[in-house]
Structure 1
């Protein structure tokens, strides 16, 4: 049963990684920039989710509200940080994004304090047992929530006019614009959805650990950047699979080599090993 529990825990963390990595993949697929400031939006989602839950007493109310606010801020980030420099070399946007992420971390430290915040009454802590496997309600909520959100995103992309415009803009922005698609609106939508996903991911990790702190976006974002490379840059399906694989590898690695490396070191070691063998990623498109 130990290996089953490890598999389940790995999938839970994989779902959490997917929420932030898919948002990064959407931004890269559309603009071909690495959106490092995504990590700051991830942390902001954790803060807003915690503060709104403590204020209202309802996680169901706090989560969509926090995700929506983070999504709106993501649109502001695009307008103020990226749109003026899209005609510059890609490294310019990368430098701006790193600077924005550092500024967001310091702003969180000034506003919320240097120490972590916790839920007044941590939600979803009930325990359930299934065939000898013990899970918390928050574990189930993360899996169900991630699958539902990403499933709705896939349906939106495949079955709606918005999704068609979105995919057309990713494939060929100039051609999409010539057919009357508003590339600017698609980009705003892309940043809203990607940022909202990061916000939900931040709420998920705050529920798992009952802790939100200014630097909480750092390590997950670094993993997400590696995941989108591992999954093939711009490949959403590959990113999802890579997220789950990384979560499972972390979980099993803590048993076999946990005496020598911690969870994060195991994850980065695995990513480095795979990228040394296949630097274009496991699921890179031709």
Structure 2
């Protein structure tokens, strides 16, 4: 009987879907990244998902500030038993919550081994409670994340048509590949048309494959749309304020893509090498 119970428990464990963690890095300005993450978070919640956005940057223009998260109630405080999990996670709307990793990003350097272990456990609890975790983060001077668990998450790079942004994004992929080994990265293109996004991705994917032996995945694009700015001025997401806007449609499509096929790869074999150059 014990062996049967153990086998059944193992089957249930294997059948339980693991939480998906999407780690977002960007070659764009802080406010552009934060606006994208807020709108994406709302769109994901609209898909019926329980979404937690984690601000691991703790800056004036990071996503936590946009969502009015309180820096003095962070996951690091929970790890140090100075706050409860309930205090550290703010409910923004139905299906959407936000948490801050630490009061200041500098507090994450030089943590003791025990505090680092406790913070990792706290993050695991947060991830298990959500369907999807969206992480707003930068790498440090050693191209490392503040949480080791993010090394194994879905890494998404936000880029635009600006040649400098594309070059910076490619450089980031190169450095992370050097540290993490060969693995895939997902590309999200902002402020462009679908055709421009395809060309930008194609060039980046060809260069990454040729020079780094690194596969890139295309997860979508968000067009330039002034409705995003107007919605922000109203204190709303674009999908709430202007549901028919082009950006709203794009965010809904992107959310569906992340929910149903996070690792899907669009093949562009045979596509000519056109678009924006990488400067390499």
Q: Per the shorter chain, which TM-score range?
A: under 0.3
Q: Which has the higher helix share?
A: 1
Q: Which has the higher strand share?
A: 2
TM-score (norm 2): 0.23
| Larger RCO, structure (CA 8 Å, separation 6 or more) | 1
